[in-house]
């Protein structure tokens, strides 16, 4: 019943998307498409594509190559050049900031020999997901999944709730959330909930946004937690 209510009250999640062009990849370069959330400025916000030499989905510690997004546009196509790929398998991922802790979505590059590679999209158990599972007058519950090899708690992932429907507000430090919290689950997936602070309640029928931020939780820094690492949004109505 709770999941049914959540589906009625929530829109499908808006997720950061990333895809390697399977027709434009060789040992020296590849093209990729990225589609981040409205309001993001990838160059200013240090969005980065990372490449690791591994045959697994789990992100390893040692980076093989990296490419900074050099455009202010929230979506676009770029070329990752000077790769020097060998007949090995690779993992490639898009990060909404700098470092492993900001990686939100990955694909695998499986070597076919001779400088040819198959691009493998993440299966459901490895793909970025963010879903509202329940909401009552004071609490919103959600599930999340981020890439294997990352940890929501260790990376400083966090969630916040805003009034309204304009996703770009979540990047705007002048638009404060009505409540937020760091995620205390030391894993790449889980179920959690956010209870509104100060006795607040969701207004029935009013519009809200629940944002997932991939790293940046730090309540002691000026301005609060980092707002540029937004990975996903769920828009929903108060019950």
Count of domains forming the chain: 2
Residues 70 and 107 in one domain: yes
> Would you write out the chain's pLDDT as a tens digit for each of its 239 residues?
445 445 556 788 999 999 999 999 999 999 999 999 999 999 999 999 999 999 999 999 899 999 999 999 999 999 999 999 999 999 999 999 999 999 999 999 999 998 899 999 999 999 999 999 999 999 999 999 999 999 999 999 999 999 999 999 999 999 999 999 999 999 999 999 999 999 999 999 999 999 999 999 987 777 789 999 999 999 999 99
Question: Residue 91 belongs to a domain with what CATH number?
Answer: 2.60.40
Name the CA dihedral angle for 210, 215, 221, 226, rounded to a multiple of 10 degrees: -50
Residues 189 and 93 in one domain: no
Question: Looking at 89, 121, 153, which one is the last position of a domain?
Answer: 121
Residues 78 and 117 in one domain: yes
Tokens of 70: 């050099």
Residues 86 and 186 in one domain: no
User: Are 160 and 170 spatial neighbours (Cβ–Cβ below 8 Å)?
Assistant: yes
User: Are 122 and 105 spatial neighbours (Cβ–Cβ below 8 Å)?
Assistant: yes
Residues 115 and 134 in one domain: no
Residues 44 and 91 in one domain: yes
Nearest partner of 9 among 144, 138, 193, 133, judged by Cα: 133
Residues 71 and 139 in one domain: no
pLDDT for res 7? 52
Residues 216 and 133 in one domain: yes
pLDDT for res 5? 47
Residues 113 and 35 in one domain: yes
Residues 101 and 152 in one domain: no
Residues 132 and 231 in one domain: yes
Identify the three-state secondary structure at position 47. coil
pLDDT for res 224? 82
Question: Looking at 82, 98, 121, which one is the last position of a domain?
Answer: 121
| Structural domain that includes position 195 | 2-12+128-237
User: Are 16 and 122 spatial neighbours (Cβ–Cβ below 8 Å)?
Assistant: no
Question: Residue 193 belongs to a domain with what CATH number?
Answer: 2.60.40.10
Question: Looking at 104, 121, 138, which one is the last position of a domain?
Answer: 121
State pTM to two decimals: 0.95
Identify the three-state secondary structure at position 4. helix
């Amino acid at each position: 019943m709770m999941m049914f209510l959540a589906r009625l009250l929530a829109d499908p999640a808006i997720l950061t998307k990333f895809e390697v062009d399977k027709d434009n990849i060789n040992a020296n370069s590849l093209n990729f498409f990225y589609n981040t959330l409205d309001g993001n400025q990838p160059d200013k916000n240090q969005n980065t594509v990372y490449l690791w030499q591994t045959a697994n989905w789990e992100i390893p510690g040692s980076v093989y190559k990296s490419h900074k997004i050099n455009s202010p546009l929230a979506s676009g196509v770029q070329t990752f050049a000077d790769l020097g790929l060998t007949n090995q398998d690779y993992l490639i991922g898009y990060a909404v900031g700098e470092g492993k802790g900001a990686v939100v979505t990955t694909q695998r590059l499986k070597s076919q020999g001779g400088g040819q590679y198959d691009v493998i999209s993440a299966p459901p158990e490895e793909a970025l997901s963010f879903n509202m599972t329940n909401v009552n007058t004071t609490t919103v519950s959600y599930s999340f999944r981020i890439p294997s090899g990352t940890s929501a708690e260790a990376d400083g992932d966090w969630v916040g709730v805003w009034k309204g429907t304009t996703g770009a507000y979540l990047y705007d430090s002048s638009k404060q959330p009505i409540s937020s919290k760091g995620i205390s689950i030391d894993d790449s997936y889980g179920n959690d909930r956010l209870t509104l602070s100060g006795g607040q309640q969701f207004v029935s029928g009013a519009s809200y946004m629940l944002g997932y931020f991939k790293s940046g939780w730090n309540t002691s820094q000026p301005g609060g937690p980092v707002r540029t690492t937004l990975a996903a949004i769920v828009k929903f109505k108060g019950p």
